[in-house]
């Protein structure tokens, strides 16, 4: 059974997580129209970053960012959901080397949450709309369906868990940053998805107790989780997580069904290390097979 690890870390002040105008221009803005009952249509705004240096025939990971529900995300309809993505996109120079797609859907101002208990009559949940959009992009873009991961900041961390339960087997990994406790009604659907969570020890908005309970429940059921507690008194632990803990690299190293993908909290293995691990495994298998053949020929050995 996988273990839940909780690490205490001391962090300096978080970096500026508001992306520059130059970085924001790297995202393409789109509208996704969804029809629902009585032939009504609702439009959802999303932004998509694509790898600047696409190679023909290659497929790329997709990272899905679920924004928080503070006022800052809704101050500017059409761009507020990008306010904290500077934790990932710190500069144009860095972004120019990124080899992944990055999707950010904005919850409408009348639906301030990806999965709300109370919805306007018949209107689809923004989380379900996001899931539909993920499948659409996989079909239309050179995206590796086995390398779709989720990031949830603040209140959206719990919605990552809900999305994983609603769409089991879709996500290769999750990063929950400053998240509250999730409602684990279908916990078994999360057992194959590695989850790395971060929380500030003195978070003034959300206590770490809730996410600790969620991760403990998943771990006790056989899941793979890791909680890093940052010694800090601010909410936006995501800035430090991406700056100091290689969370982006960890997400990009996740792939469904990959036995050698790094567990939550562990840095991704280099290509050479992965080759050595594979080689050692094959050598051990060859030794065991050879020994088995010898025993079959001479049972008295």
* Other C-beta atoms lying within 10 Å of the C-beta of residue 283: 10
For the segment 1-16, the average pLDDT, to the nearest whole number, is: 49
pLDDT of residue 55: 95
Contact 182, 158 (CB under 8 A): yes
Q: Both tokens of residue 198? A: 């971060």
| Distance separating alpha carbons of residues 37 and 108, to the nearest angstrom | 18
- pLDDT tens sequence across 99-155: 999 999 999 888 889 999 877 678 899 999 999 999 999 999 999 999 999 999 999
CATH code linked to domain 5-268: 3.40.50.1820
Confidence class for position 79, pLDDT limits 50, 70, 90: confident
In tens, the pLDDT along 195-208 reads 999 999 999 999 99
Domain boundaries, the chain: 5-268, 269-301
* The residue to which tokens 């567990």 are assigned: 263
pTM of this prediction? 0.85
Overall average pLDDT of the 79-85 stretch = 84
């Amino acid at each position: 059974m996988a273990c839940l690890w909780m690490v205490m870390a001391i962090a300096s002040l978080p970096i500026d997580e508001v992306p520059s105008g130059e970085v924001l221009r790297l995202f393409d803005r789109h509208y996704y129209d969804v029809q629902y009952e009585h032939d009504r249509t609702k439009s959802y705004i999303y932004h998509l970053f694509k790898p600047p240096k696409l190679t023909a025939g290659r497929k790329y990971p997709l990272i899905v960012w679920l924004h928080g529900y503070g006022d800052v995300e809704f101050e500017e309809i059409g761009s507020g959901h990008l306010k904290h993505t500077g934790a990932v996109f710190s500069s144009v120079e860095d972004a120019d080397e990124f080899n992944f797609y990055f999707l950010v859907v904005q919850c409408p101002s009348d639906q301030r949450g990806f999965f709300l208990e109370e919805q306007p009559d018949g209107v689809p949940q923004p989380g379900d709309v996001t899931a539909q959009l993920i499948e659409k992009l996989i079909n239309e873009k050179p995206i590796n369906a086995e390398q779709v991961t989720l990031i949830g900041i603040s209140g959206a961390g719990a919605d990552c868990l809900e999305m994983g339960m609603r769409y089991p087997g879709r996500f290769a990994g999750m990063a929950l940053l400053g998240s509250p406790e999730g409602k684990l009604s279908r916990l078994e659907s999360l057992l194959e998805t590695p989850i790395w969570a971060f929380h500030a020890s003195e978070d003034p908005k959300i206590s770490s107790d809730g996410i600790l309970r969620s991760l403990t429940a998943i771990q006790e059921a056989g899941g793979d989780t890791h909680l890093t507690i940052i010694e800090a008194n601010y909410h936006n632990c995501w800035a430090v997580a991406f700056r100091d803990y290689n969370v982006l690299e960890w997400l990009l190293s996740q792939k469904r069904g990959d036995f050698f993908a790094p567990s939550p909290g562990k840095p991704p293995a280099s290509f050479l290390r992965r080759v050595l691990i594979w080689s050692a495994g094959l050598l051990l298998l060859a030794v065991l097979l050879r020994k088995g053949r010898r025993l079959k020929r001479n049972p008295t050995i």
